[in-house]
């Protein structure tokens, strides 16, 4: 992993597009990937449903902002 980074935490708009693709790419690059669910919003309910299913299949972990408070966030 580059510079010792092993985990990625993803938040943002839209869960069923940008967040989903970013989480999927991070996982495929070998990072342990977490999506902060209450830090995301989906464009559609159906899109959210299929994206959450993809997360499950790819081993992407859903978490909450209260679970990651205190973790250094970098932009």
SS3 75: coil
Distances (CA, A) of 39 to 3, 29, 30, 55: 26, 23, 23, 16
Q: What is the pTM of this model?
A: 0.86
All structural domains of the chain, each given as residue ranges with its CATH number in brackets, are 2-65 (3.40.50.850)
CB 34 within 8 Å of CB 68: yes
pLDDT of residue 1: 52
> In 3D, which of 24, 12, 11 has the Cα closest to residue 55?
24
SS3 label, residue 20: helix
Q: Write out pLDDT tens, residues 36-72.
A: 999 999 999 999 999 999 999 999 999 999 888 766 5
Q: Is residue 74 over pLDDT 80?
A: no
| Contact criterion met (CB below 8 Å) for 19 and 11 | yes
Residue range 6-40, pLDDT digits in tens: 999 999 999 999 999 999 999 999 999 999 999 99
């Amino acid at each position: 992993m580059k510079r010792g980074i092993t985990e990625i935490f993803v938040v943002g708009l839209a869960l069923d597009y940008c967040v989903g693709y970013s989480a999927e790419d991070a996982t495929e690059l070998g990072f342990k990937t977490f999506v902060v669910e209450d830090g995301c919003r989906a464009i559609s309910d159906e899109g959210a449903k299929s994206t959450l299913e993809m997360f499950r299949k790819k081993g992407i972990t859903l978490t909450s902002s209260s679970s990651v408070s205190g973790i250094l966030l970098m932009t």
